[in-house]
Amino acid sequence: MKKITFILFALLSGTAFGQATATESATGTAEIVKPIGITNTGSSILDFGKVIVPTGASGSVQITAAAAPVRNLTGLDVIGTTFSSAEFAITASANNNYKITIPETELSGPGDPMPLVPISNLPLVSNKGDQILYVGGTLTVNDGQTEGTYSGIITVTVEYE
């Protein structure tokens, strides 16, 4: 399907060229930019693992954005060693700025929602073409949070500027 689209594009360019023979410099600025894309490659789950309810004050758990993420704890404790960051492959033409948007969200479950601030290994705007994007985050766990499993869906958007 992508191939067909490309052929149509080439055809139209040719037509435009044919119609603009008088303005010869028009084709000199033509630039083919490959479509931007993003797909889940590795883990599609940002998993904070098993967190013990903080008592007396809220705490936070942070997963870094890296191939081998690190879990940092503030004011709470965890059980087990299972956690993960999410991983994506971005496909884009080099030297074209694109914006990476990862919204803040909340994880919902049996108790109060918990705010989640995402962490990215890439800057907000990049021009480096194909790249691997890792998404970690900082989750705030409320004092006396009701036990259970909490989850949320986050949509990552990449867009040419």
Question: Minimum Å distance from CB 66 to another protein?
Answer: 15
Residue 81 is given by DSSP the state S
* Straight-line distance from the first to the last Cα atom of the chain, in angstroms, rounded to the nearest whole number: 25
Residues across the chain: 161
Question: Minimum Å distance from CB 114 to another protein?
Answer: 7
78-137 binders of another protein (CB under 8 A): 79, 86, 88, 105, 107, 109, 111, 114, 116, 135, 137
- Tell me: does residue 51 bind another protein (CB under 8 A): yes
- Tell me: does residue 46 bind another protein (CB under 8 A): yes
For the chain, the C-alpha Rg in angstroms (whole number) is 22
Among 17, 49, 121, 129, binds another protein (CB under 8 A): 49
Question: Minimum Å distance from CB 3 to another protein?
Answer: 13
Tell me if residue 23 falls in helix, strand or coil: coil
- Tell me: does residue 65 bind another protein (CB under 8 A): no
User: What amino acid occupies position 99?
Assistant: K
Q: Kindly tell me which of 23 and 155 has the beta carbon lying closer to another protein.
A: 155
CB burial readout 7-37, b (16+ within 10 A) else e? eeeeeeeeeeeeeeeeeeeeeeeeeeeeebe
* Other Cβ atoms within 10 Å of 100 Cβ, number: 20
Tell me if residue 55 falls in helix, strand or coil: coil
- Tell me: does residue 61 bind another protein (CB under 8 A): yes
Question: Minimum Å distance from CB 77 to another protein?
Answer: 8
Which of the ranges 24-32, 66-74, 121-129, 149-157 carries the binding residues for another protein, by CB under 8 A? Answer: 149-157
Question: Minimum Å distance from CB 24 to another protein?
Answer: 22
